[in-house]
Structure 1
Amino acid sequence: MRWPNSGRELNLSSEADVCLVLEGTYPYVSGGVSSWVHQLIGAMPDLKFVIWFIGSSSKDKREPKYELPPNVLGMREVFVHDYDMPGKEHFSFPSRRKKEVWEKVKAFHRSIRQGNVGPFEEVFWLTVPDRGVLSLEDMFYGKDAWRSLLKLYREVAPEVSFVDFFWTWRFTHLPFFRMLLMEPPKAKVYHTVSTGYAGFLGTLAKLRYGKPLILTEHGIYAKERRIEIAQAEWIYEQEEGRRPWTYRGGELRPRGTRWFFKDFWTRIFLFMSRLTYRCRLRR
């Protein structure tokens, strides 16, 4: 692999000291977090870094704003909203104990609705490539997945449009399925500067390789996403409600069926935030 605008070859085959997991920032965006990351790498020339960049779509135009320092071994990119899924020939997962496994998946969904992300680790090992029981095809196209989705719909949103529920579920969950297929770069430590998708990828790397996960953020990623979602006009609103917000469980949340899909999106980011904070530096 060759870094753009540079004659230097990048090497991802050897283990780095630190893998920086970055969402939508360095090296394609200048200023702010990117400047801090660039200074951090340059201030520790004795450590070898690898960059794990998370973007929206590979079709987006992107040009490096920084020249990678000499102690960066390489960079890997993940685009969470690319929807080209692997064909069936790519699925090599064994198929066994399906009923028992799906019960665990259902229990996991019930737990995260209660704010408990603890069971995620068990579900992760059911899906990790070459070691799991469920394939991506099982989770996305299988009959058991369809039945589980119908059950989830009846439990949490029977009053809203199923078509809108179905496509919202797919659009929000496909990035997770894509990331579960990613092979993390090898590193002694994984360091994410935010929760969200970067925190989720860092968590996957920690679980898969058993290496420490460091999180350094200003603590407002999930809050920023909540504000963006509340103001978003592209998220479908089903019907008029009397009051758009209510204070529940110590949090300000959308209220009523009109706001169901915004609440759905908000919970996705809260899940990633809670999961990252739970897994950081936990052995």
Structure 2
Amino acid sequence: MHVCIIVEGTYPYITGGVSSWIQMLIENMPDIQFDVVHLAPWKWTRPFGYKMPKNLKHIYEYLLFSSDFSKKDIAFNERDLVKYVRQLIGLKEERAKFFASILRTAAGKHVDYMLLSKSFWNFLQEIYIRYFHEEGFPGFYWTIIGFVIPILGAIQALPPKADIYHSTTTGYAVLSALSGKYYHGGKLIVTEHGIYHREREIEIIKSTSVPDVYKKPWIEIFKLISETAYAECDALTTLFEKNQIFQFELGADFKKMRVIPNGIDVKKFSSISKVEHDTFNVAMVGRVVPIKDILTGIKAFDALVKEIPNSRLYIIGPTDEDEEYYHRCLELVELLDLGEKVIFTGRANVLKYYGMMDVLLMSSISEGQPLVQLEAMAAGLPVVVTNVGNCPEIALDPDGQSGFVVEPKDYVAMAEKLIILAKDKSLRETFAQNGRKVVSEKYTLEKMIDSYRSLYEEVLGNV
């Protein structure tokens, strides 16, 4: 069996939940040959964040803003492509079906030549006069080009021949995966850790660089891609049931849908020995980037220190992904005079730290189903998490509460929960016991691997 996983800007360069999930998937199915197609806006200069498993045969890298793609057939007739796009815009129903037919025709062909054609120029002028004539034309032109180029780049990023194309998003990655499905005849599985079109919608709405007049069309483009992915895939998985509501809204077929939770090596974390220590130690584990909202976590810790002076905050994770944000965190630590109470470990093995930790704090503003939370629970740590993704359902599991849930950005509430845990060792032990139980029963690596192996066999008709 040959599986090609398609990613956007994550594995193997960026560590984190999706990348760790991919690494575990490949490592634990050594009998399956894997390839990875990595889509990114630029060429990475950093080293891989993971050791490549032996059954990972190739990593193909494509730049979304480049025309340097390999193994494509003849160019797509630009007049036909512009005609199809014009028809697509005019449709009110069955857009996904029509868009899929365009992608099927375009698979394996050059489509970026459209941008240089007179047909496309005339089409742009039509759109401008009809919808955006009150805007300046240069701004309109470059905004549209910015929308279109990565879409064309993703369509042209033809994956190698494989039995299964496994896309990790319903964005640019799935456009590449669909090209593989149509051109080579493979099956398509889509796994959403978060709901891609909703995440992009939130980003676009909040963006200050995208003029308001262009926000709705851009949001609709991402919704169309997701809707097409749901219609054309052979199987659709997500990590938890709440996500399926949003998939249903865009027409996902219940017969194709599965919930496959994340899984971890429970034994590896549950076997960590506790280390005696005199301080109350708080762990924040993950990349030091804005989406993890480390700044709010530091503010919560500052409030904790005022009540429990003998506290320490260990921020365990790489600091080089967004150095500007990392320096903002350092400046806040200095401003709050926290000094040696806050320790940035950089990239590190959490197994070396969990034994001396008392609680995990997650202040993220967006999550799916974080492996960090599951790993900490398996290690016997109570958690304080934000009300995002599947974090609250895990922490407040009906089979045993393992921590507290607060709203994102609410550092006062975070501090209050940390103080409660600092003062109540018995509660910490109860949460720890519950967490171990929930993870060992519901979130094991064995269950996750068995589920994906069965799904691979199912879509290939081997069961």
Q: Structure 2: how far apart are the matches of 1:148 and 1:193?
A: 33
State the partner residue of 2:346: none
Q: Tell me: CA distance 1:92–1:50, structure 2 relative to 1, closer, same or farther (3 Å).
A: closer
Map 1:1-283; keep pairs closer than 5 Å: 17-58=2-43, 60-82=44-66, 92-93=74-75, 98=79, 102-111=82-91, 116-129=95-108, 136-137=112-113, 139-235=114-210, 237=211, 259-281=212-234
Secondary structure at the aligned position of 1:51 is classed as strand
Q: Per-residue deviation at 1:191? A: 0.3
Q: Structure 2: how far apart are the matches of 1:77 and 1:103?
A: 31
Q: Structure 2: how far apart are the matches of 1:214 and 1:136?
A: 26
Q: Deviations over 1:91-133 (max 9, x none)?
A: 954869x4x664333102323x767221123323554456xxx
Secondary structure at the aligned position of 1:166 is classed as helix
Q: Tell me: CA distance 1:92–1:107, structure 2 relative to 1, closer, same or farther (3 Å).
A: same
Q: Per-residue deviation at 1:48? A: 0.4
Q: Tell me: CA distance 1:85–1:75, structure 2 relative to 1, closer, same or farther (3 Å).
A: closer
Q: Indicate the structure (1 or 2) with the bigger Cα radius of gyration.
A: 2
Q: Tell me: CA distance 1:231–1:46, structure 2 relative to 1, closer, same or farther (3 Å).
A: same
- Preserved CA contact (<8 Å) 2:6 2:167: yes
Q: Deviations over 1:153-180 (max 9, x none)?
A: 2333233222222111111101122233
**Matched AA of 1:33:** V
**Matched AA of 1:173:** V
Q: Structure 1: how far apart are the matches of 2:130 and 2:10?
A: 38
- Preserved CA contact (<8 Å) 2:164 2:187: yes
State the partner residue of 1:242: none
User: Sequence identity, in percent?
Assistant: 29
Kindly indicate whether structure 1 or structure 2 has the higher relative contact order, using CA contacts under 8 Å at least 6 residues apart. Answer: 1
- Preserved CA contact (<8 Å) 2:128 2:140: yes
Q: Structure 2: how far apart are the matches of 1:165 and 1:114?
A: 27
- Preserved CA contact (<8 Å) 1:127 1:180: yes
Q: Structure 1: how far apart are the matches of 2:234 and 2:51?
A: 30
Q: Tell me: CA distance 1:115–1:79, structure 2 relative to 1, closer, same or farther (3 Å).
A: farther
- Preserved CA contact (<8 Å) 1:117 1:271: yes
Q: Structure 2: how far apart are the matches of 1:94 and 1:78?
A: 19
Q: Per-residue deviation at 1:219? A: 4.5
Q: Tell me: CA distance 1:195–1:91, structure 2 relative to 1, closer, same or farther (3 Å).
A: closer
Q: Tell me: CA distance 1:136–1:54, structure 2 relative to 1, closer, same or farther (3 Å).
A: closer
Q: Tell me: CA distance 1:171–1:117, structure 2 relative to 1, closer, same or farther (3 Å).
A: same
Gaps of 5+ in 1: 1-15, 238-258
Secondary structure at the aligned position of 1:216 is classed as strand
TM-score under structure 2 length normalisation: 0.46
- Preserved CA contact (<8 Å) 2:107 2:182: no
Q: Deviations over 1:11-51 (max 9, x none)?
A: xxxxx610001112111111211111111111111100001
Gaps of 5+ in 2: 236-458
